Structure 1
Amino acid sequence: MTITVKLRFFASLRERLGEADTLVLPAGSTVGAARDALMARGSAHAEALARSRAVRAAVNQKMAAETASLADGDELAFFPPVTGG
C-alpha cells in the first residue's frame, strides 16, 4: 500500500526545486523517509535537502520532526530556517 503526499518548497528551496510536486511513498512513511526519497532523485534534490543542510518541515502547515508519520493526502512542506531582526 502506498500514500501520496503533496510537496511544497519555500524560499531558496523553491528556487532550486520548484514550488510544488507530489511524492508516492510506502504507507507508514515519515518526514525523514520522504526527505531521503527526494534526495535519492539526485542532483538538485540531493544538494538542496542534504542532511548537512538545516531544513525544516511542516505537515499540513504544522511544524514536524523527521519522525512524524505521513498519511495519504498530507501536505509536506520543506523550508530553510528563518531568521529575523
Structure 2
Amino acid sequence: MNVLYFAWVRERIGIASESVETQAGSINELIDELCAREERYAAAFSDRSVLRAAIDQTLVPFEATLTDATEVAFFPPMTGG
C-alpha cells in the first residue's frame, strides 16, 4: 500500500511517501508497525491526537480497517480560512 505523509509529519519522517508491506488490519495497527521500524516514525506518531488519517482520500478514524485500501495518508488537522 502507498503511505503518504504531509506537513510536519513528512518533515519528521523525512519522506513524502513510501510503499509499505503490512499485516495491519487498522490505521492504529499500521501506526504501531511504522513506529516499531525506526525512531523517526515513533517521533512523528508520538501524539496521535494531533494527527488525522485518510484511506483512499477519505478521512477516517484510526480504528478504520485497511481492507482493500491502496493508499493511507497522515496529516495534521486541517484549518479553515
Unaligned runs of 5+ in 2: none
1:25 aligned to which of 19, 22, 26: 22
Unaligned runs of 5+ in 1: none
Which 4+ runs in 1 deviate beyond 4 A? none
Measured in 2, the distance between the counterparts of 1:36 and 1:14 equals: 17
TM-score by length of 1: 0.80
TM-score by length of 2: 0.84
1:6 aligned to which of 2, 5, 8: 2
What is the percentage of aligned positions where both structures have the same residue?
A: 34
1:59 match: 55
Measured in 2, the distance between the counterparts of 1:39 and 1:51 equals: 12
Q: For 1:62-77, what aligned pairs fall within 5 Å after superposition?
A: 62-72=58-68, 74-77=70-73
Instruction: Please state how far the C-alpha of 1:76 moved relative to its aligned partner.
Output: 0.2
> How many corresponding residue pairs?
80
More helix by share: 2
8 Å CA contact 2:2–2:20 kept in 1: the answer is yes
More strand by share: 1
CA RMSD of aligned residues (A): 1.8
8 Å CA contact 2:56–2:69 kept in 1: the answer is no
